[in-house]
Amino acid sequence: MATTLFLGGARSGKSRLAQTAAERFAAPLIYCATGQAFDDEMAERIARHRADRDGRWTTIDCPVALPAAIREAVGGAILVDCLTLWLTNVMLGGHDVAAARADLLAAIGVARAPLFLVSNEVGLGLVPETPLGRAFRDEAGRLNQAVAAVVERTYFVVAGLALRLQPSDI
């Protein structure tokens, strides 16, 4: 199956582009949601994302069980939004990050529909002040590199514009 990673900063347009790409496929479309509403602002964000999707979409809430959701999803296309929220849930839940990453990579390899993954690039900013922040930045970098290595296409998104990064000749 076709696999594509959309990587970029906050508010870069990566989710919109990934959704547009997924919507080129026939219904049903599967949205794997990794965010959790721990406060009112996040609940509003989740509600806006849901409102942006029409009736062709089925949402699977999978804040930690993302690999299982990908394995089980059957549809015209699967959209995962987003890997960095999933990583946050894995880390804060005390799960083995390396094992979770390996499980995710294996699931990507057996997806039963075109798969579109969204992730934040967090390595372009300042070094985080806290040990947890630095650990998250490092793990997000490892995750993005690992996913980019197994997908067919990777796009870096800035200001709503996508730059294709692979395949690469390096």
Annotated catalytic residues are 49
Instruction: In whole angstroms, give the CA distance from residue 89 to residue 85.
Output: 6
Element containing residue 33 per DSSP (H, E): strand 29-33
144: left (phi over 0), alpha (psi -120 to 50) or beta: alpha
60: left (phi over 0), alpha (psi -120 to 50) or beta: beta
Amino acid letter, residue 133: G
